[in-house]
A and B are shown apart, each in its own frame.
Chain A
Amino acid sequence: GQNIDQPTEMTATEGAIVQINCTYQTSGFNGLFWYQQHAGEAPTFLSYNVLDGLEEKGRFSSFLSRSKGYSYLLLKELQMKDSASYLCAFSPNAGNNRKLIWGLGTSLAVNP
């Protein structure tokens, strides 16, 4: 079967670094997405990894290990506005990135 798991809640301090983990199990895999969702708003795209390794994009970085079924999102120099839910999702089908399998999201609270 297919499943995906991420922690429910995390807390961090402004200016710090936080790592949000995501593990998945699937027979087919065509990449992993990270989205940010503020309360009451739509999810917004953060990153997409299809190859192993680290992708850096400003304060946010995303890592993927396909052999371990593992990804993480790294947020540096945390700001209060980073308080949000972070969703990971993978695509199980090659050439079809629309039918994604989503985690329940990790609610991150950034404290002053």
Chain B
Amino acid sequence: KAGVTQTPRYLIKTRGQQVTLSCSPISGHRSVSWYQQTPGQGLQFLFEYFSETQRNKGNFPGRFSGRQFSNSRSEMNVSTLELGDSALYLCASSGRLAGDTDTQYFGPGTRLTVL
């Protein structure tokens, strides 16, 4: 099966700008989760979408938002970028396939640098 894809892979923005990241899950998966990964904080859960509805949310400010489309593709938006938003943003898809137990499969990530 084709894996999770994320675009773009790398992004450089300046403070105050906004950014939109895209994630396409594994075909047939309906759940998409987003994470922020930094060296000091590790993997931090942002939110999870299932069938176009946000089902779980982490402890991030409202500048971080997301949505999911009917084809399960998801986008994440960060407005008014801050230097601290520089991180690797990972999305993970999961679905009840045979033999799986809601295992999450990660995409390659988007490396965001805020200058």
Cβ contact within 8 Å between A98 and B102 = yes
> For the complex, would chain A's binding face be called helix, strand, loop or mixed by DSSP majority?
loop
CB distance from A39 to the nearest CB of B (A): 11
Chain A's interface size range is 20 to 34
**Residues on the B chain within 8 Å of A103, using CB:** 42
B71 CB–A CB distance under 8 Å: no
Taking a contact as CB atoms under 8 Å apart, the answer to whether A100 and B107 are in contact is no
Interface size class of chain B, counting residues whose CB lies under 8 Å from the partner chain: 20 to 34
CB B113 to nearest CB in A, in angstroms, measures 14
Q: What is the total of A-B residue contacts with beta carbons within 8 Å?
A: 57
Q: How far is the CA of A39 from the CA of B114 in the complex (A)?
A: 21
Contact with A along B54-65 (1 / 0, CB 8 A): 011010000000
B74 within 8 A of A: no
B29 to chain A, nearest CB (A): 11
A84 within 8 A of B: no
